[in-house]
Structure 1
Amino acid sequence: MTTNTGSKKQNFAPLLMDVAVPIGSYYLLKSGFGMGTVAALGWSSVVPAVRTVWGVVASRTVNAFAALILFVNVVGLSLSLVAGDPRLMLAKDSGVSSAIGIGVLVSVAMGRPMMTAGMKPFLVKGDPEREAAFERLLSGSAAFRRAERRFSLVWGVALLGECVARVVGAYTLPVDTMVWLGTVVMIGTMGVAAVVSGGLAAGPMADMIAAELEGEDAPAPAVLPSLVAAR
């Protein structure tokens, strides 16, 4: 039981630190504490900035999710300094989706699908055996790797589509309408992407993990007795 709990924490910690904490802290600072957009974006960039610098210094690697969220916040912070136009401020929100979508698609092209970090915890479910099967398939199964890339591809395309829809809406619909409709578009995009990526990628990957575990647990085939009588 202790091992499973530790494995769950290990799998979900990067997702929480790189995505949930920066985004959650932005909305908390802005809506909960009444902080301005610029200040909220700046302070919510602290965690991904520390994670990115720490990864480079400690292990000489760049944490992709932390670096991407940091980039998105810096872009948003820069655009927030542009004064005045409420439509530009609405379009700015879609810039987050476009930056993440482009980053995800680039990661697929480079052979390191970024959305795997968010998908893996739901597939391994904190089970060390499932996690080991996941890693074996990732290193030895072409079909598993294709599904892994497909998962990120669906999300990258969905996020870019959401960006286009919200930019068009920001400049063609009334501002008051787009304030709430932008959120509806975002939630709808997430729902569609989750269903499509689940059917095309995460579901087949879960089936492959289950098959891998069943194959591992299957007893070795019995040795057939020799058909030639021993002399």
Structure 2
Amino acid sequence: MTKTTNTGSQSKHQPGVLENLRPLIVDVALPLGSYYFFKGAFGMSTFAALAWSSVVPAVRTVWSVARERRVNGLAALILVVNVVGLALSFVSGDPRLMLAKDGAVSSTVGVGILVSVALGRPMMTAGLKPFLVKGDAGREAAWERLVSGTAVRSAEFLRKERLFSVIWGLVLLTECVARVVGAYTIPVATMVWLSSLLLVVAISLGMVVCGGAAAEPMACLITDEVKRQEAARERREQELAVAV
């Protein structure tokens, strides 16, 4: 009887890495990738590329509201960013203003992330989860227990989860401020290439800081929860064996 039960529990569907990454691919990578594809491969204008790349997040947002009665955070954020970009695409004439307006994307994303933390639904979690659970059913279950508040160290895990999003939000807002300040204080010719460098530095800094302050501790907490659950299961099996 015991063997049959264990086999049944182990036969549950174990999500793969691609399955875990699906929300991030559909909501973020696909819209952003399509924007650069339309603009580069087809030579579309910024307005047209933004408009076409907004189709997927728009459909996802409407679908989640109509079918699931909730807002898809990542899809909605990307949609807002695209709408802001569409609006700003009409701004022209002043080269410094054109450079400064690019920071609006970073600021919109940063504000959106911080608002999601304030609402108790950290937006960056969707992108972080696949890299921590690694498609493993045991780690997936441990994650769910930790975020639900039922695990021993849930409070610590939830603090790190919020911290991860807060850091990204602040990094993007800082990058926006640096871009705007640079647009009006640094020669335009220099700022043209420096603006791209600022984004690369911001992303790199975010990855390093978030990794040490939040992601790595969260991974350790998941591992600890997996071991705790395995130990509890072994105790139950031993007690059952003794009882039989």
The TM-score normalised by the length of structure 1 is: 0.91
Unaligned runs of 5+ in 2: 1-10, 240-244
| 1:42 paired residue number | 51
Shift of 1:175: 2.0
Q: Give the CA RMSD over aligned residues.
A: 1.8
Alpha-carbon distance in structure 1 between the residues aligned to 2:13 and 2:68: 25
Alpha-carbon distance in structure 1 between the residues aligned to 2:183 and 2:43: 24
How many residues are treated as equivalent by the alignment? Answer: 222
Local SS of the residue matching 2:148: helix
| Structure 2 residue 209 is the aligned partner of structure 1 residue 200 | no
Alpha-carbon distance in structure 1 between the residues aligned to 2:145 and 2:163: 19
| 1:229 paired residue number | none
Alpha-carbon distance in structure 2 between the residues aligned to 1:91 and 1:24: 23
Q: Is the 8 A contact 2:92 2:98 kept in 1?
A: no
1:183 partner amino acid:
S
| 1:220 paired residue number | 235
Local SS of the residue matching 1:112: coil
Local SS of the residue matching 2:200: helix
Q: Alpha carbons of 1:95 and 1:2: their partners in 2 closer, same or farther (altered >3 Å)?
A: farther
| 1:72 paired residue number | 81
Alpha-carbon distance in structure 2 between the residues aligned to 1:2 and 1:214: 19
| 1:156 paired residue number | 169
Shift of 1:157: 0.4
Runs (4+) off by over 3 Å? 1-4
Shift of 1:78: 0.6
Shift of 1:69: 0.7
Q: For 1:12-34, what per-residue CA distance to the aligned partner results, in whole angstroms no more than 9, with x for missing partners?
A: 11101111111111111112221
Alpha-carbon distance in structure 2 between the residues aligned to 1:44 and 1:2: 37
1:123 partner amino acid:
L
| 1:107 paired residue number | 116
Unaligned runs of 5+ in 1: 224-231
| 1:187 paired residue number | 200
| 2:137 paired residue number | 128
Shift of 1:2: 10
| Structure 2 residue 100 is the aligned partner of structure 1 residue 87 | no
Alpha-carbon distance in structure 2 between the residues aligned to 1:177 and 1:129: 51
Q: For 1:140-160, what per-residue CA distance to the aligned partner results, in whole angstroms no more than 9, with x for missing partners?
A: 211110000000010000000
Alpha-carbon distance in structure 1 between the residues aligned to 2:159 and 2:183: 36
Q: Is the 8 A contact 2:81 2:105 kept in 1?
A: yes
Identity in percent: 61
Alpha-carbon distance in structure 2 between the residues aligned to 1:112 and 1:206: 19
Q: For 1:43-67, what per-residue CA distance to the aligned partner results, in whole angstroms no more than 9, with x for missing partners?
A: 1111110111111111111101111
Q: Residue 155 of structure 2 is aligned with which of 136, 142, 153? A: 142
The TM-score normalised by the length of structure 2 is: 0.86
Alpha-carbon distance in structure 2 between the residues aligned to 1:136 and 1:12: 20
Q: For 1:71-97, what per-residue CA distance to the aligned partner results, in whole angstroms no more than 9, with x for missing partners?
A: 111011011112322222222211111
